[in-house]
Chains A and B, each alone.
Chain A
């Protein structure tokens, strides 16, 4: 099983600042990595897939990078609506055994 880890667990950021979230896979997942945002009481929302492709309707301030085992989600200038929990997910191994990271909570500094 591929284990996903995320750091930091919590990131305190001021509005307008840049946030950098990390995700690591226990073995290579190539570029088969997605990022989701979840706000309290809501379902997750797809932000990025293929490690770096923004999903439809996602603002340009969100960007993903990386491949293999190391990935980053960057929010260039945090807006109030961006304070949420962010999860990475791999969809690489066969048979399908999708795994999520434990999440990074981005809160207001």
Chain B
């Protein structure tokens, strides 16, 4: 059974940094691209970043480019999102999502975690 479990969210002051994680199980993690998608309170879904299964290719939404860094540790089956210079508008639930087919990066998402809430406030 595929499981994705996010952690690391919390209350952070503006300008601060945070790393959120996504622990994966139930599939060959290194074969699949993984994405981060966020959802501000009461708002829609916003794709944030994707990383190839090998970790060699990474892409970001323009809204987060330069402040967010996606990475993965395939030996630990874990996906990460490092967030710097946090702003109030980064307040959201951060979901990790698995690509539906192996080896491709431009693929829809077949499994999602339950999300971790990041709140940016002083």
Contacts and interface: CB of A to CB of B under 8 A. Distances in A.
B61 A97 contact: yes
- Chain A at the B interface: mostly helix, strand, loop or mixed? loop
Given A96-B105, A100-B44, A102-B44, A46 B115 contact: no
A95 B61 CA distance: 10
Interface string A80-103: 000000010101101111111111
Nearest to A102: B44
Contact of A46 (B45, B46, B109): B109
Interface residues of B, number: 23
B95 interface: yes
A19 interface: no
Interface string A46-68: 10010000010000000000000
Interface string B25-48: 000000000010100000011110
A28 B76 CA distance: 39
Interface in B41-67: 44-47, 50, 59, 61-62
A26 B59 CA distance: 21
Contact of B113 (A1, A32, A43): A43
Interface string B76-110: 00000000000000000001000010000111111
A32 B112 CA distance: 19
A45 interface: yes
Nearest to B35: A98
B106 A92 contact: yes
A46 B114 contact: no
A25 interface: no
Interface of A: 1, 32, 34, 36, 38, 42-46, 49, 55, 87, 89, 91-92, 94-103
